[in-house]
Structure formats: structure tokens, C-alpha cells
């Protein structure tokens, strides 16, 4: 597959591996699953490895399956205790490499260690938790990796409004707002992430 | 002391210690500092211990000072590495007990271990991170402690809209929404938290 319309060779991405945070449910609109499927295909076509929480269901399962089906590489990082919850029956997705970890904390550490960028797709509290943690780490200069929101159906509009309000009210610095790359289209999202310079920010809030 | 409202004595709270997440900045409106000050006074008056991240500045410093000034007990839990960042000069607040920890992760564990309820006040990314982590833990049945948002100046209105949208779109279960107690007034917030039954929820999203 070719993702670049005016070049003949597939551009090699500056991003080697991306950690995707997303729901273990599928959402109420087919657009969510389609978006996960499409992002998986794009990652595979650019030879960007997918790193994720390791589930076989919902958006998590869909993006992993799509990446594999399109010839890409997937690493799932799943805590022992959750193997039977998120996987429900725990059919591993064929082709997915797995690391089983002892705790949620170890999972978060490895999800950070094994990637060069983060993408959040729609998800629940767990997704918001993972997302705000890596934003906080960026703010503390623990990592300099781009953080992007795949804004399918405007799912993250309220989150962006919340962060904008935090800036207005004086709890997040304006450069902290710039830590977030937000796009509805996965191609455009990745294009913005390539070579993105993460702004340095002082700790605040 | 008695928990009944029709008693004359100051009601003893069913909550022994509350962990408060909030900004290390003060916000752009005096209402934020006033709200922190008032919450500290109320905690002291009810003999509820304050547990917090240990800073001396911003809302964090204000609530700690107010709790101490009003005769209450305060426990600050601060990572070694942040002692010089959040405290800026690191004047400890006289009267605050301190635990110095090795990592952000250990801090989060102790902030959970030492409390029987959580309150989020306005803050930045760090506050959102801490808040969504304890919500996620409640959803995973790791704890059964009430989680409340002190909604000063409607600061959390966007967050509530975000969570409502997550329910509508199928990424958070309706009972997951009920994990959050939201009030603008600290007295009313605490009244709602007393004896609150945290709904059991299946893991989702
Ligand atoms: Mg977190």
C-alpha cells in the first residue's frame, strides 16, 4: 500500500513504534471500529510497529488484527491478572508478540519503553488514565515523544475543551496545550506526528 | 461524636482521611484559593485527615496550610526528585507530616493507601492523571472509596461532559459515570461523600 500520493517509494517513517491507547469496547458507531482498522493498516504500510495493551476485543483487538492482516508487527503488553478479563476466553491474536507483566504499573512502563510515539483512540477511563499519564511524563521531561489524539467522531472534543479551559484558568501552561496533536483522519494525524518537536514545558499544575 | 444531622455535636465523619489532588498553581481567580482554604477548614473541623502530594505552593500549599491552621492533621507524600520543583525553595509547611518516596508510582500507591476517599480540586495534567487513575482502580474494584470533584467555578464541567459522552458513545458504562460525585460547594460535596456506596462496575473501556 502507498500512503503518499505524490512519491513513488513508500516514505520510511521517523516513528519506529507507536503505543496506542484505546477501548476494549467497540463503541456505539461503526466508525470507531473502521477507524481502528484503518489506523492498523496505515501503521503496517509504514512499517511502524504497534504496541498496545494486548486485548483481543473492542478497538484494541481490531487495531491489532488489522495491523497483522496488513503485514505489520504487533507487541501486546498485558498484566497476568487481566488475561481473563480483557481477552474474554483469551484467544490470543495469531501473530501478536506478547509480554505478560506482573502489574498495571509495569504494563505502563513497558508501553512507554517500547514506543517512540503515542496515539490515543476513543476509550473509557483506562484510556484517559493512560493518556494523562504520558502527558504528565512529557511535562516532567521524562520523555520527548509525540502524543496524538485520533479524534474519531469528535470523541476528544470535550477533552480538548477541558484542556483549553485549564490553560485559560491558569492550571496548564499554553505550551502544555501544544503537547497534544489532534486530528480526525489517521493519515493526517501521522503526518503531523512525523518529526514533531515536543515543546519543552516547565512543570505546572 | 455522632454522624446524625439532628445531633448538636459536630458530626464525626465516616471518612477518616481524604486524599486531595489539585494544582501546584493557584489559578487565575481568587475563588480557587478561597475554595482550597475553605475545604481545608472543613476537613479540620470534621477531624478528617488531609493526605496530599506534599507541595507548599498553589492550591496544594493553600489547602495544607488551612487544614493545619484550623487544627487538622496533614500528611504530605512527595517524591525525592520533586522536592525542589514543587516546593520551590522547599519550605516545609510547619505541622505537616511528610513521607518522602522514591518514585511517582510509590507516591500514587501511598496517596491511595493512606486515605478512605478522594477529592479532586482544579489542577493541570498531573491532577487529571491522578484522578483518572483512581477512577480506573475503582472500576477494576481495586478500591471502593468515594471519588469526588470539587467543581469550583465549574472547572470540571468539561470533564463531566467528556465522561457523559463516553457513556453515550459506549466506552464507559452508565454505572461508571456514577463513580463521580460532583459539587461546587465543599460542605455539600462532603455531605454527599459520607456513607456513599461506590457502585460495582464491570471493567469496560
Ligand atoms: Mg494515570
Rounded to an integer, the average pLDDT of B90-94 is 76
Residues across chain B = 205
Rounded to an integer, the average pLDDT of A137-164 is 95
Question: pLDDT tens, B40-91?
Answer: 999 999 999 999 999 899 999 999 999 999 999 999 998 887 675 554 445 6
Element holding A151 (H helix, E strand):
none
pLDDT band at B192 (very low <50, low <70, confident <90, very high): very high
pLDDT band at A79 (very low <50, low <70, confident <90, very high): confident
Query: Taking all residues of chain A, what is their mean pLDDT, rounded to a whole number?
Result: 89
Ligand 1 centroid, distance to B142 Cα (angstroms):
14
Task: State the pTM of this model.
Answer: 0.90
Selecting from B122, B133, B158 the residue whose C-beta is nearest the C-beta of A171 gives B122
Question: pLDDT tens, A158-189?
Answer: 999 999 999 999 999 999 999 999 999 999 99
Residue A197 has pLDDT above 70, yes or no: yes
| Confidence at residue A90, expressed as pLDDT on a 0 to 100 scale | 56
CB-based contacts of A7, cutoff 8 Å, min separation 6? none
Rounded to an integer, the average pLDDT of A73-82 is 89
Question: pLDDT tens, A101-115?
Answer: 998 889 999 999 999
- In Å, what is the CA distance from A98 to each residue of A53, A54, A113, B46? 10, 7, 15, 50
Rounded to a whole number, what is the distance in Å from the CA of B16 to chain A's nearest CA? Answer: 26
Q: Is B113 on the interface with A (CB under 8 A)?
A: no
CA atoms within a 13 Å half-sphere pointing along the CA-CB vector of B140? 19
Strand blocks (E) in chain A: 17-21, 49-52, 74-79, 97-101, 117-120, 147-150, 180-183
| Confidence at residue A80, expressed as pLDDT on a 0 to 100 scale | 85
Rounded to a whole number, what is the distance in Å from the CA of A184 to chain B's nearest CA? Answer: 16
A133, B133: Cβ pair inside 8 Å?
A: yes
| Confidence at residue A84, expressed as pLDDT on a 0 to 100 scale | 59
| Confidence at residue A205, expressed as pLDDT on a 0 to 100 scale | 42
Residue A28 has pLDDT above 90, yes or no: yes
| Confidence at residue B13, expressed as pLDDT on a 0 to 100 scale | 74
Q: Which residue has the higher pLDDT, A141 or B4?
A: A141
Chain A neighbors of B169, CB-CB under 8 A: 27-29, 32, 122, 153, 155
3-state DSSP helix/strand/coil % of chain A, to nearest 5: 40, 15, 40
| Confidence at residue A201, expressed as pLDDT on a 0 to 100 scale | 61
- Among B148, B201, B177, CA closest to B19: B148
Selecting from B126, B136, B170 the residue whose C-beta is nearest the C-beta of A205 gives B126
Rounded CA-CA distance A44/A55 in Å is: 18
Q: Is B177 on the interface with A (CB under 8 A)?
A: no
B146 beta partners: none
| Confidence at residue B84, expressed as pLDDT on a 0 to 100 scale | 59
Rounded CA-CA distance A184/A150 in Å is: 6
pLDDT band at A97 (very low <50, low <70, confident <90, very high): very high
Question: pLDDT tens, B145-191?
Answer: 999 999 999 999 999 999 999 999 999 999 999 999 999 999 999 99
- Among B16, B199, B201, B43, CA closest to B121: B43
Rg of chain A, C-alpha, whole Å = 16
Amino acid at each position: 500500500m502507498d500512503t503518499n500520493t505524490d512519491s513513488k517509494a513508500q516514505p520510511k517513517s521517523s516513528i519506529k513504534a507507536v503505543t496506542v491507547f484505546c477501548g476494549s469496547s467497540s463503541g456505539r458507531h461503526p466508525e470507531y471500529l473502521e477507524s481502528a482498522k484503518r489506523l492498523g493498516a496505515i501503521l503496517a504500510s509504514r512499517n511502524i510497529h504497534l504496541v498496545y495493551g494486548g486485548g483481543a476485543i473492542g478497538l484494541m483487538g481490531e487495531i491489532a488484527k488489522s495491523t497483522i492482516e496488513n503485514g505489520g508487527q504487533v507487541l501486546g503488553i498485558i498484566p497476568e491478572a487481566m488475561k481473563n478479563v480483557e481477552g474474554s476466553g483469551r484467544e490470543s491474536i495469531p501473530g501478536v508478540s506478547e509480554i505478560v507483566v506482573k502489574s498495571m504499573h509495569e504494563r505502563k512502563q513497558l508501553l512507554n519503553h517500547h514506543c517512540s510515539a503515542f496515539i490515543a483512540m476513543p476509550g473509557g477511563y483506562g484510556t484517559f488514565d493512560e493518556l494523562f499519564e504520558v502527558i504528565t511524563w512529557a511535562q516532567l521531561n521524562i520523555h520527548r515523544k509525540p502524543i496524538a489524539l485520533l479524534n474519531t467522531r469528535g470523541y476528544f472534543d470535550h477533552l480538548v475543551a477541558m484542556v483549553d479551559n485549564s490553560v485559560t484558568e491558569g492550571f496548564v501552561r499554553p505550551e502544555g496545550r501544544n503537547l497534544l496533536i489532534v486530528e480526525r483522519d489517521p493519515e493526517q494525524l501521522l503526518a503531523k506526528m512525523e518529526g514533531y518537536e515536543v515543546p519543552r514545558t516547565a512543570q505546572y499544575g
